Chain A
Amino acid sequence: MENAAPAEGAVPVGGGWRFLIQPRWLGWHVLMAVSFWGMLWLGDWQLHRALAGNALSWAYTFEWPLFAGFAVVFWVKTIRDEFRIKRGDNPGGTYGEPEDLPFGVRAVQSGAGPAEDEDEELSVYNAYLARLNAEVKDHGRWHGLR
């Protein structure tokens, strides 16, 4: 299931899929596989409870496989997005930023910084960005910033 993702789409020349076998990603693959089979197992357990006469379990009998399906769909799309980001076209359109910059930094830094930008809201935002940038310089990815 998770392994189906690297096969699809145009994989960039030079083995662009290799990030998928980095330890961090392997950890995510394992987590996804365990949660997928775990949720199917929970659905099976609820099915047996439902068949044994627990009417309430019917709801959960259908819910757990749905969650398991969500996990697969989310995972496949996450990996597809990752490929797209690596190729350079951002799926998020205008919200996207280059990989080496924290979110939202480019829009401000790319400007020449006109003098009339000195309104309070903007300077608060700039201070926030500066703090965020310093904070996440090395481990930004781990905290959710690409």
Chain B
Amino acid sequence: MTVLEAAVLRYRVMAYVTGVVLVVLCFVGIPLQVAGHPAVANNVGVVHGILYIIYLAFAWILSRKLQLANKPTVIMLLAGTVPIMTFIVERWVTRRFISPALAGQAQTAEPVRP
């Protein structure tokens, strides 16, 4: 596994974990809180806060490795705060940046230049 592949894997794992926890927070925790049972929202909220810190670090490291410009970098980082968005952004980043980068890496692994 190359450095880039490892960074992609770390980002992907955190994107899905953070995304799932945020979905639980927003679609289970918040309704329960509104209904007068704030325990789930409180606990899951803190867990999401901690996971999001890790997500931020991994997403940013990957954005540096892919040499992304500022806009997609910010989109990647903020995706962890919007429900469902991590899944959408992960697919977009994969199609748009990760796949070409990994393909390019495979190309350069066998140098075609003299």
Contacts and interface: CB of A to CB of B under 8 A. Distances in A.
Given A56-B46, A63-B53, A95-B4, A146 B67 contact: yes
Interface residues of B, number: 31
Contacts of B66: 92, 95, 103
A146 B69 contact: yes
A142 B112 CA distance: 31
Contacts, number: 89
B78 to A, nearest CB: 10
A144 B71 contact: yes
30 contacts: A66-B53, A67-B56, A70-B56, A74-B77, A78-B70, A78-B73, A81-B64, A90-B67, A91-B64, A95-B4, A95-B65, A95-B67, A95-B101, A95-B104, A97-B67, A103-B67, A104-B101, A107-B108, A108-B107, A110-B112, A111-B107, A128-B100, A129-B100, A132-B100, A143-B72, A143-B96, A144-B68, A144-B69, A144-B71, A144-B96
Interface of A: 28, 56, 59-60, 63, 66-67, 70, 74, 77-78, 81, 85, 90-92, 94-97, 103-104, 107-108, 110-112, 114, 125, 128-129, 132, 141-146
